[in-house]
Amino acid sequence: MTILRLAVYEQPLKWLAVALGLLSTIAIVQDWQLAAMIFGLPFCLIWIYCAWLRTEPQLKYINIVFTLLYIYGIARYFVINE
């Protein structure tokens, strides 16, 4: 399956990213750290994938950095709260 075939899913992914962004924001306001990271990780992955980043590569790179930070944060949460 090529990336062009997956382009059909770009608009639904964008709407999913909006929902994940809202859920992540609510989690931050409620001080739910793990939930904020769990909602934020797929949000970043969608931003990395979606076509609108083809014209703005710096957004892609910053979202790769955020993805790595979310993975670290989630792993750290489970190690500390074991």
Sequence ranges of the domains in the chain: 10-80
Q: Which of 15-19, 52-56, 75-79 has the lowest mean pLDDT?
A: 52-56
Q: What is the Cα–Cα distance from 18 to 15, expressed in whole angstroms?
A: 5
Count CA atoms closer than 13 A to 15's CA, side-chain side. Answer: 3
Which tokens hold the place of 39? Answer: 């909602």
Reported as a single tens digit per residue, the pLDDT across 18-43 is 999 999 999 999 999 999 999 999 99
